[in-house]
Structure 1
Amino acid sequence: MTSEGWGTPPVEPISQHYIVCGGNALAHRLALELVELYDVPVVVLVPDRTRDHAPRIEQLEGVAAVVEYSSVTDEALRAVRVETARGIAFVDGDDQGNIHAALSAQGHNPGIRIVLRMFNQRLGSNIERLLRNGTALSGSATAAPAFADAALSRPNSVQVGDRFLHIAYDDDIHSDRLCIVADRIDPQDLGRIRLLPEQEGDSASYVRLAREFGDDGPIRSGAAARLAAGTVGPDPEPGGTAALQSLPSEPAVRIAWWRRLRWRLLDTLRFFTSARLRLVLITALVAVLLAFGLLWHLNGNFAWTFYTSLLDLAGAAQPDQPGGGDGSGTGGTWQRVAQVVITFCGITFAPVATAIMVEVLASGRRGQPRNPGVGTRDHVVVVGLGNVGTRVVSRLHGLGVPVVGLESDPQARGISAVRALGVPVVVDDGPLAEQLRRARLKHSRAVVAVSGDDATNLEAALEARAVRPDVRVVLRLFDDSFASHVYATLDNVASRSTSYLAAPAFAAALMGREVLGTLSVFRHVLLVAELTAELGSGLIGLNRHDLEDQGGLRVLAVRLARNPQLYHWRYADRTRALEPGDSVVVAATRSGLARLNTTLTADS
């Protein structure tokens, strides 16, 4: 690998190469993906070769050159030979900067393939119309579902048509699974996992399933379940099995409906009122309910009591007149007391309602981050409100799951996004243990640590475990070795890498492949992609055998050109050649999709 000086173009002229602009973790993973799996020449443009992941990028074998420029200018693009490149990816900087750089690259090379990272997906969709051969992806949007679903201990899913594909393990595997995606699974040794193992053919798995569903009853647990799931050989190696299955709807969140309703009501109340106003409202409401109960007890007529109480609240009830000589009146002393209490509470509600309106509309309460209240229960604590953290909070909130954000940097842009959702957030640069305490960790269901620093995320996990040994922990970790040690040491923990989840989608997009989503098998990634047989694509004339024989790939469904709305799942005809306009949905490993792309490129 050649390391170039500041602003200096590659020593040797280069063409038909791919350019990665950025020095972050995603740029690192993407460059590694391109040189190792796609075997293409790569030039990396970094803002500072001494910071972030730039030193690691320089150590990658196969990278043709690393060029340093503080920003992606026309001079920088000329330095990396953009005019002769096949593709360029912008994976660093903000949305505005990436848009400007993408349009500049298109001006230098109208036919270049452009992939740019965009946090604002709506803006990205609009920008795609300005690019002749480009696409906009969000790394955080690609990775966030895996973190959110791991926190909820539910399978991550990818939508294909009207189905949701997800990964099931061992005893959760059903007989109608689409395919086996992994075996030899050992959480203590993630290196043993084998993705998309060799398949014996469809008939072998059906024979085993017929044996298990015969007179002896349903599939048994343990080794028998793994055998029925389709692992190779009658005596599979120790370890679990994972399979790809489909559901008619997204996997449900396991939270009781009454808990969600309670959270929504409390959250709404906390949003519109301060602690003092809530105290006044709750006290008045309790007093009204007690007085109502007393009136009902004295009169024995619920309808009349309800009617009288409403008039008292409005200040329109007739006072109880004195009666006989004892002065007891028609209702007695206790009725008078109850009516007075209700009337005075009704008088209180009017100014309190006015105060709420003034506070919300005039004082800009929506602009102030809120701390979690004492009623916060069964929530998820998200540590770090960067791009990924903001996406995780948004997804959890959209699912109706109570969530609390935690951020040490008061200038983090994710705070405003969380604030707009009305989600409580703790903003403090003090000790992490104190921040977690304020986030009511003791009453939480999970902690998701997604800051940009592995050490900070591990510290959050250890601090959380010190307070709640049984709490579910999900970590964002870049280093695979580090993650393996975490798996081997901590129980009830999940680890994900944002760049590892997003890089395959960016690499495939550079090669012109559409990745519908990524599925996590522990730290490993399975890609779900849709390939269309177009003229010149190399897919025309291939059948299922041709696609799957290369390894690392399974055909899940076929869409025929004559009826593109219909997905033929587990398409039976393995010898039918693809015709122009046909599409196939595949599950593939990173290497499997890369091999297919190399083959199709060579054929075309």
Structure 2
Amino acid sequence: MTSTIHLGLSVGQRSQHMVICGDDGLAHRLAVELDAVCGEAVTVVLRSRRDEHGAEIAALHRDPHSPVELLVAAQPDEQTLRAAGVERAAALALTYRDDQTNMMAALLARSLNPSVRLVIRMYNRERGRHLERLLDRAAEVREQPDDLAADASTTVLSDTDTAVPELVSAAAVGRGHTLQVEGKVFRGVVRPAGTPGQATDLATLAVLSGAHQDDPASEDSAETPGEDGTQLLPDTRTAYHRQFTHGRLMLEEVTHHHAPEAPATSHGCREWVRGHLTHLPWKVFLSREVTAVFGMLAAVVVALAIATALVEKISLWRAAYLPLLDIFTMGDPATEASVGRQVLQLIAGFVGLAVLPLVVAATMNATDAFRAASANHPPADDLVDHIVLVGLGKIGTRVLARLRTTDHKIVVIERDPHARGVSLARELGVPLLLEDATDTGVLDQARIRQSKSLLVLTREDSENLDIVMAAREINPRVRVVMRLYDDDFAATVSRTMRASYPDALTRSRSVSALAAPAFAAAMMGRHVLGVMPVERGSLLFTVVDVAGHPELEGHSVHEAFRENEWRVLAVGAAGTRQSASSMDTLAGLRLDRPGLDWRPSHGRVLCADDRVVLATTRRGLDILMTGVQPHPPERRPM
């Protein structure tokens, strides 16, 4: 049964609200992002109010200051989508865990509203690409000519892929939301009060309210308002004068992506093999179990050899040789020998029956241990300032691939030799420990004392926390990035670890929390590259063609700046409209024509053939996209 809500819209009126259909943490985080960060009115379709995430979204709905509406329905069928207002909605996000459910709902939504902007969560990448092209083609065929404001794009995202850049950035460079354009990586970094700028700084994004605010985008960061409050996109004079008393949020260029290193030469391969052989775990064949079994066998052989020598009056070598043949059932029956020899042969046979299974078992166990341990590729003894990555599942594998495109050194720990990322680690030649990171000594083998960062990405929250606590005991200053499924638990762990180790960075976030900004940006339109929370406000990064924008066209970069509204970050040549398949919000946007200038001259005049990347407030983006000018500010009395 579906519970209907009233949206207050007349028939045929197109609303600006957004609809989310989902049943897990991503739906909740996306509702929070659109409501609190982006200021959007949101309708959330839930399967139940009683589960954990349904209760969290219901709490948002009960907040009198939140415009979040609820609709409870078992499936996103046509009746449900109509009741949620999809026919008039600006955007629809489908975040169910089931690809087929999302596909069916997307096809229904496109038929109900050809101009709705669709954002779909898909686990199967190939299927997602096909669906994206199909729905975009359907939108082009049924596009309404009088709906000029429509952006009927379809964006298929994976929460795993969108979370990876944030995890990599947090481990590699610390705090700061990341943005990727044309293979370049940028982040928002805080410069404390009184500290000079860096050569990598591109622009001042905000002057913060708290002079010691070190993580303005964090939900659990301290909020110490100053007398002037946070100022987004300040002018140069304000940014200069307040830098001595307030922290500044700067846009910093982090790194240039490059291809992984080429395979080693033959000489390098020989060196690697020689070094690997010296680290093989030969000592497993000297384990207590193996030495005990073979020691017992040796003692029995010696005793039988002495008895044989006394009975048969033969040399010591022959006296040891005959019992060994008897134990291993390799000798002939001693039917023609003396009675003493026959008795000793029988004794040796019974000893063989008892001892040989133990010998075989110990040998096999040692061989298996040797095979497993020899698969390890331990780090060099002089390795320092590296990143330790624990877990090579779906997310860990993609994080490893992304980290290898940077200049950072990596050591990987994975207890499952069949995990999907183990083959990639071996192919890349990354130091690999096939061990349980919770076992004593494993973190020491990964040289955690000398590392600068620890990324813990296993599937178990409790195991992740155990690893982090052990690492903190060994290296209290190591930068920690931890993946936790439970959002509230992640925030609690982060606060506790920061309180216990104030001199070290600890960041614990769920994948849904890291992915939500990318989904929110896609819902706001394909021109939005990313959303960066800043204390209680937010900044949006957008790409805009200069043609048709009187606020930009014909003006210099300096003149195009509008205080607290928008700032030009980069200028390049405009291209044709991009297909959805070539877009990847927050996970790396490729523009049609590469070559953006991220340090444009203030005197450069913007022409109709230019395309610009802007940092804007939500109000500034509305002005640029709609052309509606705000009311002029009241003049203060002199």
TM interval, short-chain normalised: 0.5 to 0.7
* Corresponding position: 1:20 with 2:16: no
* Corresponding position: 1:486 with 2:518: no
In structure 2, the partner of 1:50 is: 50
Which TM-score applies when normalising by structure 2? Answer: 0.58
Contact 2:2 2:72 in 1 (8 A): yes
In structure 1, the partner of 2:614 is: 586
In structure 2, the partner of 1:495 is: 507
In structure 2, the partner of 1:598 is: 622
Q: Alpha carbons of 1:485 and 1:548: their partners in 2 closer, same or farther (altered >3 Å)? A: farther
Q: Alpha carbons of 1:164 and 1:481: their partners in 2 closer, same or farther (altered >3 Å)? A: closer
Contact 2:86 2:113 in 1 (8 A): yes
Deviations 1:432-451 (A, max 9, x none): 73388479455472322346
Match of 1:492, SS state, is: coil
Match of 2:50, SS state, is: coil
Q: Alpha carbons of 1:419 and 1:376: their partners in 2 closer, same or farther (altered >3 Å)? A: farther
CA distance in 1 between partners of 2:2 and 2:440 (Å): 44
The Cα of 1:86 is off from its aligned counterpart by 2.2
Deviations 1:255-291 (A, max 9, x none): xx99xx8999479969xx9967999xxxxxxxxxxxx
Q: Which residue, out of 3, 15, 27, partners 1:8?
A: 3
The Cα of 1:486 is off from its aligned counterpart by 3.5
Contact 1:501 1:518 in 2 (8 A): no
Equivalent position amino acid for 1:10 in 2: I
CA distance in 1 between partners of 2:538 and 2:270 (Å): 34
Q: Alpha carbons of 1:49 and 1:584: their partners in 2 closer, same or farther (altered >3 Å)? A: same
In structure 1, the partner of 2:203 is: 179
Q: Alpha carbons of 1:533 and 1:461: their partners in 2 closer, same or farther (altered >3 Å)? A: same
Deviations 1:293-345 (A, max 9, x none): xxxxxxxxxxxxxxxxxxxxxxxxxxxxxxxxxxxxxxxxxxxxxxxxxxxxx
Q: Alpha carbons of 1:510 and 1:435: their partners in 2 closer, same or farther (altered >3 Å)? A: farther
Deviations 1:8-63 (A, max 9, x none): 33356766231112233332222123233444432112344333422111111434
CA distance in 1 between partners of 2:524 and 2:129 (Å): 19
Q: Alpha carbons of 1:451 and 1:72: their partners in 2 closer, same or farther (altered >3 Å)? A: farther
CA distance in 1 between partners of 2:258 and 2:498 (Å): 25
Q: Which residue, out of 109, 127, 142, partners 2:162?
A: 142
Match of 1:59, SS state, is: helix
The Cα of 1:524 is off from its aligned counterpart by 10
Equivalent position amino acid for 2:627 in 1: D
Equivalent position amino acid for 1:191 in 2: E
Q: Alpha carbons of 1:190 and 1:427: their partners in 2 closer, same or farther (altered >3 Å)? A: same
The Cα of 1:147 is off from its aligned counterpart by 1.9
Unpaired segments ≥5 residues, structure 1:
1-5, 206-229, 280-362
In structure 2, the partner of 1:65 is: 69
Deviations 1:157-201 (A, max 9, x none): 644447553456656833574212355343496435987655343
The Cα of 1:458 is off from its aligned counterpart by 4.2
In structure 1, the partner of 2:234 is: 199
CA distance in 2 between partners of 1:96 and 1:269 (Å): 47
* Corresponding position: 1:559 with 2:572: yes
Contact 1:515 1:528 in 2 (8 A): yes
Contact 2:200 2:254 in 1 (8 A): no
CA distance in 2 between partners of 1:494 and 1:192 (Å): 21
The Cα of 1:115 is off from its aligned counterpart by 0.9
1:310-389 correspondence runs (5 A)? 372=376, 380-383=387-390, 387-389=394-396
CA distance in 2 between partners of 1:198 and 1:231 (Å): 12
Q: Alpha carbons of 1:76 and 1:161: their partners in 2 closer, same or farther (altered >3 Å)? A: same
Equivalent position amino acid for 1:41 in 2: A
CA distance in 2 between partners of 1:524 and 1:533 (Å): 26
* Corresponding position: 1:165 with 2:186: yes
Percent same amino acid at aligned positions?
Answer: 27
Contact 1:381 1:406 in 2 (8 A): no
* Aligned residue pair count: 465
Deviations 1:466-492 (A, max 9, x none): 344343312346459633453343232
Equivalent position amino acid for 2:21 in 1: C
1:431-580 correspondence runs (5 A)? 433-434=438-439, 437=442, 440=445, 443=448, 445=451, 446-450=453-457, 457-476=464-483, 478-479=487-488, 482=492, 483-490=494-501, 491-495=503-507, 497=509, 498-516=511-529, 528-533=541-546, 548-549=561-562, 551=564, 553-561=566-574, 567-572=596-601, 579=608
Contact 2:530 2:540 in 1 (8 A): yes
CA distance in 2 between partners of 1:263 and 1:125 (Å): 43
Q: Alpha carbons of 1:506 and 1:65: their partners in 2 closer, same or farther (altered >3 Å)? A: same
CA distance in 2 between partners of 1:268 and 1:603 (Å): 66
* Corresponding position: 1:394 with 2:426: no
Contact 2:162 2:514 in 1 (8 A): yes
CA distance in 2 between partners of 1:403 and 1:88 (Å): 41
Unpaired segments ≥5 residues, structure 2:
137-152, 216-220, 286-367, 576-591, 629-638
Match of 2:135, SS state, is: coil
Contact 2:183 2:257 in 1 (8 A): no
In structure 1, the partner of 2:171 is: 151
1:399-410 correspondence runs (5 A)? 399=406, 401-406=409-414
CA distance in 2 between partners of 1:538 and 1:435 (Å): 65
Contact 2:34 2:520 in 1 (8 A): yes
The Cα of 1:531 is off from its aligned counterpart by 2.2
1:255-266 correspondence runs (5 A)? 265=272
Q: Alpha carbons of 1:18 and 1:199: their partners in 2 closer, same or farther (altered >3 Å)? A: closer
Equivalent position amino acid for 1:493 in 2: L
Q: Alpha carbons of 1:519 and 1:555: their partners in 2 closer, same or farther (altered >3 Å)? A: same
CA distance in 1 between partners of 2:626 and 2:233 (Å): 25
Contact 1:369 1:415 in 2 (8 A): no
* Structure 1, 240-249 or 504-513: larger mean CA deviation: 240-249
Deviations 1:118-151 (A, max 9, x none): 4555654443222222112333323322322332
Deviations 1:345-376 (A, max 9, x none): xxxxxxxxxxxxxxxxxx9xx9x999745557
Q: Which residue, out of 241, 244, 248, partners 1:232?
A: 241
Match of 2:161, SS state, is: helix
The Cα of 1:247 is off from its aligned counterpart by 7.0
Q: Alpha carbons of 1:455 and 1:574: their partners in 2 closer, same or farther (altered >3 Å)? A: farther
Equivalent position amino acid for 2:500 in 1: T
CA distance in 1 between partners of 2:101 and 2:280 (Å): 40
Q: Alpha carbons of 1:192 and 1:534: their partners in 2 closer, same or farther (altered >3 Å)? A: farther
Equivalent position amino acid for 1:508 in 2: A
Match of 1:130, SS state, is: helix
1:206-217 correspondence runs (5 A)? none
Match of 2:44, SS state, is: strand
The Cα of 1:106 is off from its aligned counterpart by 1.6
Q: Alpha carbons of 1:549 and 1:392: their partners in 2 closer, same or farther (altered >3 Å)? A: same
Equivalent position amino acid for 2:72 in 1: E
The structure with more radius of gyration: 2
In structure 2, the partner of 1:288 is: none
